[in-house]
Amino acid sequence: MKFLKFLLLPLLALPALILPSCSNDDPKGNTQALTIQSSLNYISVYDRTADKLTVFSGANYGVLVNLDQLTMQLNVNDLQYDSDQRAISFSLPELRMNITQTGWKLQHAETMQIQTGASTVNVANLDIDFVLRSDGLQNLVSIKFLLDSRYEITTLFTHSQFIGETKSTDIDNPAKDPFSTKQSRYLVTFDGKTKKAEVQIAYPKFLDTMPSNLGVMRFPDIPLTYTNDGFTFKISSLVPKIGNDPYPAFEITNLEGKVVAGKTLSLTFECRKFNRKVTIDGTAY
């Protein structure tokens, strides 16, 4: 099944079947390079020493995957991790990755001493995760590591996609006419400058009677709060949109959500027109 185009983010995706290099003399062999622009991410830094969370503008990442050797290499450029320190750039060595049931994963707990120009840093607990999607693409969902045994670095992608189960129940009588579906797809975007999130729903369906051709439903301008592992978002009421058209008769209330970066989405809201409470448990893909 193909997903809607708005869910496809080419800059964050790799082909699942990577073609070999055109040159047999290429020492890199069966490789693919991926670039993640700084405009597509923010850097969340939890300072263990100061017990403080700070979110900085994004870094530029380069990822090199070698399927012949089953290795992955990460290059980091212009990473800001402390307000009192200059941004740094560095390259990690090629590290062994694993092929899992859900894609590719690199977990390297050991400390690596890395040169950053005139100085060195220690990088540990490296976690990079690609998820295999049913449209034949690998989607990069996680880049995390520990810097100098002090700074917990989490990459917050501005666009995160989730699949899972959507459930709805009657607000006054939860046992009445329960509904569930795994058809809906969720895209959560956020703007680090305005600290506002938006939820986009492809194939939105909260009742059997809802039509299947509604298009993409949007919940815009939801205030967010950063957490150590992602962010939460919450609003008492909003007017949903389909495309750019608002639908005030279908007001959404009591919306609360949480994104754990690279892992999960939890989301609840109510629609009084149908007297339904909707709950979503999603997994990054």
For residue range 192-235, what is the model confidence (pLDDT) as tens digits?
Answer: 999 999 999 999 999 888 887 788 999 999 999 999 999 999 99
**Whole-angstrom Cα distance, residue 103 to residue 141?**
11
pLDDT, one tens digit per residue, over 77-112 is: 999 999 999 999 999 999 999 988 888 999 999 999
Q: Distance from first CA to last CA of the chain, Å, rounded?
A: 14
Average pLDDT over residues 131-150: 88
Structure tokens at 238: 């909003």
| Rounded to 5°, angle at Cα 105 from 33 and 52 | 95
Domain 159-284 carries which CATH code? 2.40.160
Domains of the chain, by residue range, sit at: 5-16+28-156, 159-284
**Whole-angstrom Cα distance, residue 263 to residue 63?**
20
User: Under a CB-based contact definition with an 8 Å cutoff, are residues 227 and 220 in contact?
Assistant: no
Please report, as a single letter, which amino acid is at residue 228: N
Tell me what pLDDT residue 7 has.
39
Mean pLDDT of the chain: 88
Residues 6+ away with beta carbon under 8 Å from 245: none
Tell me what pLDDT residue 77 has.
97
- Mapped onto helix, strand or coil, the DSSP state of residue 250 is helix
Tell me what pLDDT residue 132 has.
83
pTM: 0.87
Q: How far is the CA of 237 from the CAs of 218, 234, 240, 259, 265, in angstroms? A: 13, 9, 10, 20, 20
* pLDDT of 18 above 70: no
* pLDDT of 23 above 50: no
**Whole-angstrom Cα distance, residue 24 to residue 20?**
9
Tell me what pLDDT residue 29 has.
64
CA atoms within 13 A on the CB side of 126: 24
Residues 6+ away with beta carbon under 8 Å from 21: 28, 29, 30, 31
Tell me what pLDDT residue 100 has.
87
Residues 6+ away with beta carbon under 8 Å from 173: none
Tell me what pLDDT residue 103 has.
87
> Helix count (H) and strand count (E) of the chain?
0, 25
- For residues 143-162, b (16+ Cβ closer than 10 Å) or e, as one string? bbbbbeeebbbbbbbbbbbb
- Mapped onto helix, strand or coil, the DSSP state of residue 275 is coil
Higher-confidence residue: 233 or 15?
Answer: 233
Tell me what pLDDT residue 26 has.
53
**Whole-angstrom Cα distance, residue 277 to residue 180?**
12
Most confident among 15-19, 208-212, 236-240 (mean pLDDT): 236-240
Structure tokens at 98: 């694993």
